[in-house]
Structure 1
Amino acid sequence: MTATLSKPALRIGPYQVDPPVVLAPMAGITNVAFRQLCREYGAGLYVCEMITARAVVERHPGTMHMMTFGPNEKPRSVQLYGVDPATMREAVKIIVGEGLADHIDANFGCPVAKVTRKGGGAALPYKRKLFANIVRASVEAAEPAGVPFTVKFRVGIDDEHHTFLEAGRIAEAEGAAAVALHARTAAQRYSGKADWSQIARLKEAVTSIPVLGNGDIFTAHDALRMVAETGCDGVVVGRGCLGRPWLFGELEAAFAGKPIPEGPNLGEVARVLRRHAELLVRHDGPDKAMRDLRKHMAWYFMGFPVGSQLRRRFAMVSSLDELDELIAQLDHDAPFPADALGPRGRQGSPGKVTLPHGWLDDPDDPCVPEGADMMHSGG
């Protein structure tokens, strides 16, 4: 499928994002190695895995290492998690004052229980005054340096507590440069289908800044369809690129109205996997790199005729030499499987969202949730 979209180019602050494609920050995935691999296929905005504001303020060594960018990576984009306006303000001041990033995105969409039980992530926009205070403090700290601050959130806590329209209007009013909606509730987690009609509703409600859509973009066709159906200004791609960094090349072609490249054969996938390993070793050293690589194996080989014994060995690989030995045993001519274009990554089941006691009693309570600001990982 090819198409030419007549929408104006996506701008986030001073940056033109063409094609209008954003790599979603994914914990343990979107480190500098994976981002570089994706960037080699196509342009867009590639967001570093989430870091916590508290960890930035305390200069946590692991966090500072996570904020590593490639020498040619522009704009450098980081996602920040926080629940306290004062801590967020201080973290943003550090990031912009020391030139650590060119764009900051705030995470108000995480559905993980250890986050929501403390009022963070997807639980927080329900407290609209606290949400507004966080966005305002962050924008005030980022604005003097010309660093755009954007906000990502979900439809709401569950079907009885939708927050996205109000969150979008608040973020717009407080100076956010763009908003992104994952079109699921926190209760859905990653299960079921994303409700793209909610992205269209947000686009109607938020009119002066870009609205980005997220959820169930597994192919370039999905991205074009989301823009056509919702009117959103750009797309955010998460699980769809797991084991498929070349998806960004397909997206670039689709948005330019060019033929979408065919999926790679198994030999090309093996070459990409080997490149991923090299980049991880450069970033983290061989031991951590090979441990990290193991979780990507099932995604890279999804649908290919690899065989259960060889799959198990790939999933326990411990060195580049061993990886080369295993790659040599693959059928390099095996074509890309047509059934490997659907959902990948975590899906799970919907469930009740864990919230702090009394969280739903007063949406106008601006108090910072107790203990949530001490987290060093948002999941």
Structure 2
Amino acid sequence: MASTDTAKTVGNNDVYSHGNVEESDAPDAAVSQSGATQERLTIPGIKLGKLDVPVPVMLSPMAGVTNWPFRVLCERYGPHGLYVAEMITARALVARNPKAFRLCRFAPSESPRSLQLYGVNPGIVEQAARMVVDGHMADHVDLNFGCPVPKVTRRGGGSALPWKLDVFAELIHRVVSVCDAAGIPVTAKIRVGIDHEHETYLDAGRIAQEEGCAAVSLHARTTAEYYGGHADWQRIAELADALTIPVFGNGDIWGAQDALDMMKQTGCAGVAIGRGCQGRPWLFADIKNAFNASDERVNPTLAEVGAVIEEHARLLTEFYDGDEVMAVHDLRKHVAWYLKGFAVGGATRKAFMQSENLEDIARNVRELDPNLRLPDEMADKPRGRVRYAKKVHLPYGWLDSRELSKEGREALFGDDPMDASY
């Protein structure tokens, strides 16, 4: 039996209060694959400073995933969004670490070029931002305050940093001061907080806005929740209601309907896509179509998926300066995502995991059933690992105060690792 899906309000928010969701001139309803009747809406673009974003969709930075080969594939399917490079450690950039510069590469087709910086020392992050500006390395800078990985949070970075209001504000202020002069918009990626007893998102959003950020992206989980459970979209609604700058909602967007539902329920200005696009760069085409009141969705055959796998392998080989072994090893995790849900045997998956060069990949692709499609019940399902943090790792005494003491600053800033990425 078909059921009617209506827009839901969250708390006291009016789902249309931010002017981000417009009713379409298209027919009033469309029938989803599940048989439910869905309201058709048109989502307008936004501006970040002088930067136009016609389709308000952001590819969230993911370490080891969102290098330029993957970004290019995503952008081909869904142009006119923001496709952000994986996190660059500011100190590594300042130290001219070769790996950091590799991660800063963009393909000629990428526009705008979006780069994410991470750091805990405002002075170092400012230096990195200056390098980005002076080197004309990006058109948009995102700041990482959302990473929950212990290696990052135990240094006071990522999602731990907004707890220290003074350092958080200083870091944003310094980066915005550098980038604003060059007309480069700065955005901030944040989480709900460290845990539900130490929430930071409203303070962080307010400070980001006051210090000149053009937008904020909120992953609606705490650090303690990591990537487990369900994202609390109500927090996105609350932040969107509290700020005048655009808010991108992030968390549990596995399909185009999820993106529409988030927009309707929260009043956010756009959506940020993370694990949902792993092995599915065409998700951006689905969302672009959905935002334009179109029912068209991409449901590729396995032959078409295989062609994407081969193209991804070739692009990664270029990324690694012709090193096929490095490229194919990097591709392995992507292949697991590309094949997720398809009825291919364990032997086929194993063969891909044992590939060592482009010919191995091509041979394994030729062995795939070209006409196979993903079953409807497997579409738009959660992807990636569901991981819970057993313990949030923080610097000693981190939660004792919302400000960082002089001694704390010396301890925290004196031993920042040189890693190019976590």
Counterpart amino acid of residue 35 in structure 1: R
* Cα distance in 2 between the residues matched to 1:215 and 1:301: 22
- After superposition, give the CA deviation of every residue in 1:133-180 in whole Å (9 maximum; x if it has no partner): 000011011111001111001000011100000000000000111101
1:356 aligned counterpart, secondary structure? coil
Q: Which of 256, 259, 268 pairs up with 1:223?
A: 259
* Cα distance in 1 between the residues matched to 2:260 and 2:415: 38
* Cα distance in 2 between the residues matched to 1:73 and 1:310: 34
2:85 aligned counterpart, secondary structure? strand
- Alignment match, 1:244: 280
- Alignment match, 1:352: 391
* Cα distance in 1 between the residues matched to 2:336 and 2:43: 37
* Cα distance in 2 between the residues matched to 1:323 and 1:8: 40
CA RMSD of aligned residues (A): 1.4
- Alignment match, 1:270: 306
* Cα distance in 2 between the residues matched to 1:13 and 1:316: 47
Q: Does 1:290 align with 2:333?
A: no
Counterpart amino acid of residue 53 in structure 1: A
User: Does the 8 Å contact 1:92/1:142 carry over to 2?
Assistant: yes
Residues 83-162 of structure 1 aligned to structure 2 (within 5 Å) = 83-162=120-199
Q: Does 1:321 align with 2:364?
A: no
Q: Offset of 1:72 from its aligned partner?
A: 2.1
User: Does the 8 Å contact 2:252/2:382 carry over to 1?
Assistant: yes
- Alignment match, 2:100: 63
User: Does the 8 Å contact 2:192/2:219 carry over to 1?
Assistant: yes
Larger CA deviation: 362-371 vs 189-198: 362-371
Q: Offset of 1:371 from its aligned partner?
A: 4.9
Q: Offset of 1:188 from its aligned partner?
A: 0.5
* Cα distance in 1 between the residues matched to 2:123 and 2:82: 28
* Cα distance in 1 between the residues matched to 2:332 and 2:55: 31
Question: After TM superposition, which residue ranges in structure 1, 4 or more long, deviate above 3 angstroms?
Answer: 1-8
2:343 aligned counterpart, secondary structure? coil
Larger CA deviation: 303-312 vs 338-347: 338-347
Q: Offset of 1:378 from its aligned partner?
A: 4.6
The total of aligned residue pairs comes to 378
User: Does the 8 Å contact 2:56/2:271 carry over to 1?
Assistant: yes
- Alignment match, 1:45: 82
Q: Offset of 1:374 from its aligned partner?
A: 2.4
Q: Offset of 1:370 from its aligned partner?
A: 4.2
- Alignment match, 2:16: none
Judged with a 3 Å threshold, the aligned counterparts in structure 2 of structure 1 residues 352 and 371 are, in CA distance, closer, same or farther, namely farther
* Cα distance in 2 between the residues matched to 1:359 and 1:49: 27
Judged with a 3 Å threshold, the aligned counterparts in structure 2 of structure 1 residues 303 and 372 are, in CA distance, closer, same or farther, namely farther
- Alignment match, 1:310: 348
Q: Offset of 1:346 from its aligned partner?
A: 2.2
* Cα distance in 2 between the residues matched to 1:370 and 1:157: 21
Q: Offset of 1:365 from its aligned partner?
A: 2.1
Of structures 1 and 2, the larger Rg is shown by: 2
Counterpart amino acid of residue 301 in structure 2: N
Structure 1: 5+ residue runs without aligned partners?
none
- After superposition, give the CA deviation of every residue in 1:80-100 in whole Å (9 maximum; x if it has no partner): 001111111111111011101
Counterpart amino acid of residue 187 in structure 2: T
TM-score w.r.t. length of structure 1: 0.97
RCO higher in 1 or 2 (8 Å CA, sep ≥ 6)?
1
2:77 aligned counterpart, secondary structure? coil
- After superposition, give the CA deviation of every residue in 1:174-230 in whole Å (9 maximum; x if it has no partner): 0111101000000010001000000000011112x1111000111000000000000
* Cα distance in 1 between the residues matched to 2:294 and 2:41: 12
1:150 aligned counterpart, secondary structure? strand
Counterpart amino acid of residue 341 in structure 1: D
* Cα distance in 2 between the residues matched to 1:5 and 1:75: 26
Q: Offset of 1:372 from its aligned partner?
A: 5.7
* Cα distance in 1 between the residues matched to 2:235 and 2:258: 16
Q: Offset of 1:348 from its aligned partner?
A: 1.4
* Cα distance in 2 between the residues matched to 1:156 and 1:300: 32
- After superposition, give the CA deviation of every residue in 1:89-136 in whole Å (9 maximum; x if it has no partner): 111111011101111000001111111111111111000111000000
Larger CA deviation: 369-378 vs 270-279: 369-378
Q: Offset of 1:263 from its aligned partner?
A: 1.2
User: Does the 8 Å contact 2:254/2:381 carry over to 1?
Assistant: yes
User: Does the 8 Å contact 2:43/2:291 carry over to 1?
Assistant: no
* Cα distance in 2 between the residues matched to 1:364 and 1:7: 39
User: Does the 8 Å contact 2:240/2:266 carry over to 1?
Assistant: yes
User: Does the 8 Å contact 2:44/2:54 carry over to 1?
Assistant: no
* Cα distance in 1 between the residues matched to 2:126 and 2:404: 20
* Cα distance in 1 between the residues matched to 2:107 and 2:184: 19
2:313 aligned counterpart, secondary structure? helix
User: Does the 8 Å contact 2:282/2:298 carry over to 1?
Assistant: no
Q: Offset of 1:295 from its aligned partner?
A: 1.0
* Cα distance in 2 between the residues matched to 1:218 and 1:7: 18
Residues 180-199 of structure 1 aligned to structure 2 (within 5 Å) = 180-199=217-236
Structure 2: 5+ residue runs without aligned partners?
1-31, 33-37
